[in-house]
RNA sequence: AGGAGCGUAGCUCAAUCGGUAGAGCAUCGGCCUUUUAAGCCGCAGGUUCAGGGUUCGAGUCCCUGCGCUCCUACCA
């Protein structure tokens, strides 16, 4: 086994090595070899020292990689190496030119082994840049039989459960995770450049707030209390605004004890961001700017075009201005009548077979009827290939949002909130945040009153948050973006499991 | 949670109406100094997801369980 340390210091990536190929040096070397051979043929009586010298200025490389393919021709063995920078890099190990241990190793190799090769760069007869190894040493042994070399590993279950295998067999998998990292860098760079400060707020909370979702619970021994894992960082970030931080964001791992499907994992990542003296309009500018930057990076990464980013059958345009439509307009276009026309809304819902009464027979509130129609009928009208902001949601659906003053007396008052839809997915909302402690308290209590027994076990009244608002929170804009879903869009991944290195899986062998 | 589908060698897949479980790759042995999924010769490899049932006979049909996939539902 190779000792770690100095012997690996000079290693370069396969891509860096590949780019070092020097055609002139290679040609000169080949020519001088021919010259020497010819001289030997014509004058066999000459000593080696009298023959023309071999000129060899070919760049030498020292690389490490996993052996993904090996072709043993007897006294010449071809290896294809792979690393994070390059899928295929060819090594030739010949009995004549490689040292004895290196050649012996090449004979004994298994697919999946990691080796370190050293030698000059040349081109083969078929024109492939190749390291003509003069040394080959083992770096790591692969004891597991490799997946089929052409068809690869396609079994989705095994790909998710044994991601380490998936990653070396399917380099595309690794590329998605690397793109994800670059997208996060972009996001942080843009936000930091705008004066936003990244913070970390508690994951373990005595009461999970900031969203309506079932939390996970755990127990803390030292204090003898039950805790829940956060479902959203919102209420803590707002406390920081109260404390005087003007612009904060958190890349937040959230935990929701709900279902799994192709756009939901029980733990997922969101970006939440708050800007003092901002509003939902400034949030719109920030969101659009961020997503466009991400799309530019992702399109460059894949030699694509940010105006035509593939996502399944779609081509999504991130380069043009995002579309904007109000909740009211979208509703009217899709349904043919105004959201305030509550009688027609109720008729329409009945006609479409939606629930208009709850289990115990009491009629469902008008606003929920309207929103049901909106979500089922109007949302489907949004062009999935155009990122679209839907603006001005009904205030009753947005308890943490400042209402729009000029709609306060309408049948359905509106609030300064938008939702962003891309590729048929909801990417996130933004709000002009409510900062009136009295209204906030009333809305909290209203919400709590409406919950059933089961829900009440995890819905609490956050007294301290109201207290924070009483101290005074500056008017602010708040934004939440689903990072996993954005990475799906940017990497053309159809399921959230493809953008998570280790998605939630049912344990094997458990009943 | 409901519906549909799938589960066969390490991997990718076959197996007719219910009638001896097979191939390619990988492994193992042999040959081969410009290959590209290298090629040639040979060997070996199986609790057909698990358990039960029907049958002379089950990979195949039936039931139960487990796991995965897709669709639907749920999801601020």
Which pLDDT tens digit goes with each residue over A334-366? Answer: 889 999 888 898 888 888 777 777 666 677 788
User: Residue A455: its pLDDT value, please?
Assistant: 54
| CA A334 to C1' B60, whole Å | 51
Give the torsion sign (CA, A493, A494, A499, A505). Answer: negative
| CA A233 to C1' B40, whole Å | 65
User: Residue A454: its pLDDT value, please?
Assistant: 52
- CA of A375: nearest nucleotide by C1' is B76
Determine the average pLDDT of the residues in A406-429. Answer: 91
A506 or A454: which leads in pLDDT:
A506
Determine the average pLDDT of the residues in A29-33. Answer: 92
| CA A166 to C1' B67, whole Å | 19
User: Residue A246: its pLDDT value, please?
Assistant: 95
The complex scores an ipTM of 0.87
- pLDDT tens digits, one per residue of A432-441: 998 999 988 8
- pLDDT tens digits, one per residue of A89-99: 999 999 999 99
A73 or A350: which leads in pLDDT:
A73
The torsion angle over the Cα atoms of residues A41, A42, A48 and A52, rounded to 10 degrees, is -110
Tokens representing residue A327 in the block? 């909740």
Q: What's the start-to-end Cα distance of chain A, in Å? A: 42
Helix (H) and strand (E) counts in chain A: 15, 19
- State the Cα–Cα distance between residues A392 and A182, nearest whole angstrom: 33
Q: Residue A230: helix, strand or coil by DSSP?
A: coil
Other C-beta atoms within 10 Å of A50: how many? Answer: 9
> Residue A510 pLDDT more than 80?
no
Report the length, in residues, of chain A.
511
> Residue A497 pLDDT more than 80?
yes
Task: Give the model's confidence band at A220: pLDDT under 50 very low, under 70 low, under 90 confident, else very high.
Answer: very high
Tokens representing residue A440 in the block? 């906030």
- CA of A124: nearest nucleotide by C1' is B34
- CA of A30: nearest nucleotide by C1' is B34
| CA A287 to C1' B68, whole Å | 37
A175 or A450: which leads in pLDDT:
A175
| CA A142 to C1' B37, whole Å | 20
The model's pTM is: 0.90
| CA A132 to C1' B20, whole Å | 51
* Residue carrying the six token digits 């082994």: A113
Q: What is the CA radius of gyration of chain A?
A: 31
**CB-proximal positions of chain B, under 7 Å:** 1, 10-13, 24-28, 31-39, 65-76
Nucleotide B12: nearest residue by CA–C1'?
A151
> Residue A144 pLDDT more than 60?
yes
| CA A243 to C1' B24, whole Å | 67
- CA of A155: nearest nucleotide by C1' is B68
- CA dist list (Å): A468 to A35, A228, A242, A351, A435: 86, 21, 7, 46, 10
User: Residue A53: its pLDDT value, please?
Assistant: 84
| CA A256 to C1' B52, whole Å | 39
Determine the average pLDDT of the residues in A456-476. Answer: 84
- CA of A398: nearest nucleotide by C1' is B76
Tokens representing residue A40 in the block? 């030997």
- CA of A397: nearest nucleotide by C1' is B76
| CA A498 to C1' B28, whole Å | 37
Task: Give the model's confidence band at A452: pLDDT under 50 very low, under 70 low, under 90 confident, else very high.
Answer: low
The torsion angle over the Cα atoms of residues A339, A341, A346 and A350, rounded to 10 degrees, is -80
Contact criterion met (CB below 8 Å) for A295 and A488: no
Task: Give the model's confidence band at A152: pLDDT under 50 very low, under 70 low, under 90 confident, else very high.
Answer: confident
User: Residue A439: its pLDDT value, please?
Assistant: 87
User: Residue A405: its pLDDT value, please?
Assistant: 86
Which of these, A433, A449, A451, A463, lies nearest to A206 by C-alpha position?
Answer: A463
- CA of A112: nearest nucleotide by C1' is B26
CA A390 to chain centre: 24
Contact criterion met (CB below 8 Å) for A390 and A382: yes
| CA A494 to C1' B39, whole Å | 40
Which of these, A100, A102, A93, lies nearest to A75 by C-alpha position?
Answer: A93
Nucleotide B1: nearest residue by CA–C1'?
A259
- Which element (helix H / strand E) includes A32? helix A23-42
- State the Cα–Cα distance between residues A433 and A417, nearest whole angstrom: 9
> Residue A251 pLDDT more than 80?
yes
* Residue carrying the six token digits 């007897």: A74
User: Residue A457: its pLDDT value, please?
Assistant: 53
Mean pLDDT score of chain A, rounded to an integer? 89
- pLDDT tens digits, one per residue of A297-315: 999 998 999 999 998 888 9
Nucleotide B67: nearest residue by CA–C1'?
A508
- pLDDT tens digits, one per residue of A6-22: 566 689 999 999 999 99
Contact criterion met (CB below 8 Å) for A249 and A271: yes
User: Residue A511: its pLDDT value, please?
Assistant: 34
User: Residue A296: its pLDDT value, please?
Assistant: 96
- State the Cα–Cα distance between residues A95 and A256, nearest whole angstrom: 60
Nucleotide B66: nearest residue by CA–C1'?
A511
Q: Residue A375: helix, strand or coil by DSSP?
A: helix
Beta strand A60-72 with A86-94 is unpaired
Task: Give the model's confidence band at A37: pLDDT under 50 very low, under 70 low, under 90 confident, else very high.
Answer: confident
Task: Give the model's confidence band at A271: pLDDT under 50 very low, under 70 low, under 90 confident, else very high.
Answer: very high
Beta strand A114-123 with A129-132 is antiparallel
> Residue A52 pLDDT more than 90?
no
Contact criterion met (CB below 8 Å) for A190 and A290: yes
- CA of A511: nearest nucleotide by C1' is B66
- CA of A443: nearest nucleotide by C1' is B76
| CA A161 to C1' B54, whole Å | 37
């Amino acid at each position: 086994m190779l000792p770690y340390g100095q012997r690996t210091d000079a290693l370069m990536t396969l891509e860096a090595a590949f780019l070092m190929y020097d055609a002139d040096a290679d040609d000169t070397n080949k020519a001088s070899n021919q010259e020497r051979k010819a001289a030997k043929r014509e004058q066999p009586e000459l000593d080696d020292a009298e023959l023309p010298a071999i000129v060899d200025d070919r760049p030498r490389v020292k690389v490490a990689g996993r052996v993904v393919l090996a072709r043993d021709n007897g006294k010449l063995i071809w290896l294809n190496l792979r690393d994070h920078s390059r899928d295929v890099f060819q090594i030739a190990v010949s009995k004549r030119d490689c040292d004895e241990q290196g050649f012996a190793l090449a004979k004994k190799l298994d697919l999946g082994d990691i080796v370190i090769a050293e030698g000059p760069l040349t081109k083969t007869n078929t024109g492939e840049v190749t390291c003509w190894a003069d040394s080959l040493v083992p770096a790591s042994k692969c004891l597991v039989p490799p997946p089929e070399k052409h068809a690869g590993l396609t079994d989705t279950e095994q790909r998710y459960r044994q991601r380490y295998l998936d990653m070396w067999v399917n380099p595309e998998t690794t590329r998605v995770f690397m793109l994800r990292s670059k997208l996060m860098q972009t996001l942080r760079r843009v936000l930091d450049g705008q004066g936003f400060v990244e913070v970390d707020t508690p994951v373990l909370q005595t009461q999970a707030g900031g969203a309506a979702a079932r939390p996970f619970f755990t127990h803390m021994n030292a204090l003898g209390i039950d805790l829940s894992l956060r479902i959203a960082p919102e209420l803590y970030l707002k406390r920081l605004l109260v404390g005087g931080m003007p612009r904060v964001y958190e890349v937040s791992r959230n935990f929701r004890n709900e279902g799994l499907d192709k756009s939901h994992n029980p733990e997922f990542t969101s970006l939440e961001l708050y800007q003092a003296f901002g509003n939902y309009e400034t949030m719109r500018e920030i969101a659009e700017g961020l997503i466009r930057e991400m799309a530019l990076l992702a399109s460059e990464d894949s030699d694509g075009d940010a105006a035509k980013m593939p996502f399944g059958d779609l081509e999504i345009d991130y380069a043009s201005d995002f579309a904007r439509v109000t909740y009211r307009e979208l509703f009217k276009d899709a349904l043919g009548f105004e959201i305030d026309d509550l009688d027609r809304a109720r008729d329409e819902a009945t006609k479409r077979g939606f629930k208009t009464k709850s289990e115990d027979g009491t009629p469902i509130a008008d606003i929920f009827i309207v929103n049901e129609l909106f979500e089922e009928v109007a949302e489907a009208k949004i062009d999935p290939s155009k990122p679209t902001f839907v603006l001005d949601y009904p205030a009753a659906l947005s308890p943490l949002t400042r209402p729009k003053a000029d709609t306060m007396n309408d049948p359905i008052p509106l609030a300064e909130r938008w939702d962003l839809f891309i590729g048929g997915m909801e990417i996130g909302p933004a709000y002009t945040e409510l900062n009136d402690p009295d209204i906030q308290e009333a809305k909290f209590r209203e919400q709590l009153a409406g919950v059933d027994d089961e829900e009440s076990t995890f819905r609490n009244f956050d007294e301290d948050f109201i207290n924070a608002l009483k101290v005074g929170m500056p008017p602010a804009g708040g934004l939440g973006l689903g990072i996993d879903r954005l990475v799906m869009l940017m990497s053309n991944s159809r399921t959230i499991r493809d953008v998570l290195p280790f998605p939630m899986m049912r344990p094997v062998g458990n009943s």
